[in-house]
Structures are given as structure tokens and as C-alpha cells.
Amino acid sequence: MAREGMEVSIAAAEAVALCDTDCIAAYPITPQTHIVEHLAELVADGELEAEFIPVESEHSAMSVCCGTAAVGARTFTSTSSQGLALMSEIMFIAASLRLPVVMALVNRSLSGPLSIWNDHSDVMSVRDCGWIQVFVEDGQETVDHMPWAFRVAEDPAVSLPVAVNLDGFILSHVIEPIELWTKEMMQKFLPPFSPVNRLHPDQPVTMGAFAMPDLFTETKMAQNQALIKSKPIILKAWDELLQVTGRRYRPVETYQTEGAKILLVTMGCLGQTAQLAVDALREEGEAVGLVKLRLWRPFPFEEFRKAVEGAELLLVIDRAISFGGPGGPVASELRNALYHAKKPPRVVNMIAGLAGRDVQPNDFEQMVEQAKAKVAEGKEDDYLIYGVRG
């Protein structure tokens, strides 16, 4: 199928519609994107046979999603920043009830000050909610990961909600050449939803019952194991996606890592800018490479350790701050992942690109210089808020 210039949000909505989604519940005002706006249009115009449920808040949106997934409907929602914060209570419940809701999470900063721009502070606030979480970095990846998310979420061995993270504005609102899937591709890749648990009068079940202290620990162990064990299904779905689209996705992507002494580590759109910086630095003779984390939960420990093997310095770029903590959430996890490595690289953490502040290729070059200076000073365990004035 030919590529077409489309706004990424619109393309994401078209992809969700092609997935034959049964129900979309969303709160329509800001922080929101064209994703649900366009889905509402498709339903209103009769092009998508689905229930579009406009609710009175994001808390209700996620509650409705739990209800519709529980009766066996293929369910989608999308939100950003404050909307995600309001959803968060019910996100934990969707995961613990093993309800395969799919969300396009358009990453934007949490207030205050009031901001509508892009960073990762929203998703990091729900890091531990038990969802499968993946990051995309361009329009094609966004479109490909809508059916992928349903395929993984609804797999009977998984049955967990999936959040596809895409950067707000710098990805969600740009126009890119995108290949939409055909119906044939979709039929080949995405089977009909056959729920593991279903609310139905013919076979009554109780969902969301309480657990006393003598059972709760076992429920959390089971939930954690389910998320960890979703990884082989995630990898298989990417293999199958390759068969259908010719595009290969991995939990940890690498660029110019061979022989690299310094590795940049990014998540989301910054990866593409970082590639340009790596090219420029390589031309200058610096042994620099790039590692891009695609899969955030379940965390791909094995692939990450392999990707950074042999590097002397990791420069981890975080787009959120853990206030009063060790810097950024990504760097803190990566340090943890490397703690038992035989020859772990040093880790320098830069916090950059908060609330839409632009990060250009030359900024990465500056960061590499600053990281080298920190290591020379023996202060590599600190973090820096890159480019902050004063």
C-alpha cells in the first residue's frame, strides 16, 4: 500500500478503526488529541461500527474501558498528561483485573505550571501501574503499534492492558508519510478478541472481589508474573508484524553501537534526533552510538545489558524528574539493571526536553562533552538538568 502524508494522530485513529475496535471511551477536551476526535467522527459518519462513549472525566473513561473490556468488547482510549493522572486510579484496576484495554498515551507534561507540551512526566507517574508499556518514535511505528497492542493485550496468555506511548505535538501533531494497513494485513495479524474472563449471565463470575491479607500477596505475585511472562508473546507479535509489514521492531533498538565507547540512551522521538548527533560525532571520530528503549514494561533486562556491553559510558537522557530522588526514572532503572554486571559502564544522567523544550542534534553533542567532563571530575553518579539557566 502506498504511503500517504497524514497527521500522526489521524493515522493512529485510522489504525484503531481498522482494528475493528468495538468501544472507545474518552473525555473530549484538552489534554486530548485528534486521535479520539477522529474516531468520534468515524463513528458518527457510520464508517466505524463501534460505541463511542463520551464520558464526563478520564476517571470515567478508564472505568468504562474496564466495563467494556470485561464484557468482551475490543476497547480503546487515548489521553495525555492531566487526563492520564485522573485515569491513573483505574489503570491499576484494569491491570489487576487483567483487562486488555489499549491506550494511545500521547506524552505531555504534568502541570504545574500549566503546560500542554511534550515530555514523559505523565507516563512515568504510572510506571508501576502494571500495564505493558511501549514507546514509538515516528508515525509509521505509531500506526503499526495499534494492531500490535491489541494483538498482545488480547493474547489469552497475556490478557493485560497495553499503553503505546507517543510524544505529544512533536509526533502526535506532525504530518508524516505513513503506510496504513490493508484489511487483508489486519485479518492476517489480528484475530478476533476472545476474552479469558467475561461478564456474561450464562457463566457468572465476580470481578474485583476483595482479598484479605492472607491472599493479597499471592494476587500480586500472579500479576507480576503475568507481566513478566508477556515478553515472549510481545516478541512473537513483533515477529509476526515483520511478516505482515516487512518492518522489524525490537525491545531495545541500537544504532552505531559497534565499537562505541559512549552510548546515548533515549526513549521516544528523541532517538531520531540522537541518530543525527551520532552521525555527526562519528564523523568527528568519536566512538559514539545510540540505544533506544522501545519496551519499558516488562523491562527488557537481557536485551538492554547486551546492547550496552563493551561501552564505557552511558549518557541517559530522561524527560522527567524524580523530585528529590536519583535524577530521572529511566537512568535510575538502568543503573539498577547494571548493578550486577561484571564491568558496568558509567552512567551519566541528563534531564532534557522538559515540556516541549527543543533538543537539537548539537544539544546531544554538548551533552556528550558535559558527560565526559563529569566523568573526568569523578561525579558521574550525579545528574544534570541540561540547558537550565542560572
360 touches other proteins (CB under 8 A): no
**In this structure, is the dihedral angle defined by the CA atoms of residues 91, 8, 169 and 247, taken in order, positive or negative?**
positive
Integer Cα distance of 29 and 52 in angstroms: 15
202 touches other proteins (CB under 8 A): no
Q: Among all chains, which residue has been given the C-alpha cell 522489524?
A: 248
Q: Which residues contact 366 (CB under 8 A, 6 or more apart)?
A: 386
- Pairing status of strand 4-7 against strand 175-178: antiparallel
Using the contact rule CB under 8 A, the part of the chain among 37-45, 91-99, 173-181, 234-242 near other proteins is 91-99
C-alpha cell of residue 280: 555527526
Which residues are registered as beta bridge partners of 104? Answer: 78, 164
Residue (99 or 233) nearer to other proteins, CB: 99
212 touches other proteins (CB under 8 A): yes
21 touches other proteins (CB under 8 A): no
Count of residues that interact with other proteins, criterion CB under 8 A: 23
228 touches other proteins (CB under 8 A): no
205 touches other proteins (CB under 8 A): yes
Using the contact rule CB under 8 A, the part of the chain among 49-57, 196-204, 290-298, 316-324 near other proteins is 196-204
Among 111, 197, 256, 370, binds other proteins (CB under 8 A): 197
Residue 328's CB: how many other CB atoms inside 10 A? 24
Q: How far is the CB of 160 from other proteins (least distance, A)?
A: 9
214 touches other proteins (CB under 8 A): yes
Among 80, 96, 109, 275, binds other proteins (CB under 8 A): 96
231 touches other proteins (CB under 8 A): no
159 touches other proteins (CB under 8 A): yes
The torsion of the CA quartet 130, 269, 243, 10, rounded to 10 degrees, works out to 90
**Residue 337 in 3-state DSSP?**
helix
Footprint on residues 266-305 left by other proteins (CB under 8 A):
none
Burial, 72: exposed, middle or buried (Cβ in 10 Å; 0-12, 13-18, 19+)?
middle
Among 11, 48, 99, 371, binds other proteins (CB under 8 A): 99
Counting Cα atoms < 13 Å in the Cβ hemisphere of 50 gives: 28
Q: Which residues contact 250 (CB under 8 A, 6 or more apart)?
A: 238, 294, 303
**Residues forming the site for other proteins (CB under 8 A):** 96-99, 159, 196-197, 203-207, 209, 211-212, 214-215, 218-219, 221-222, 225-226
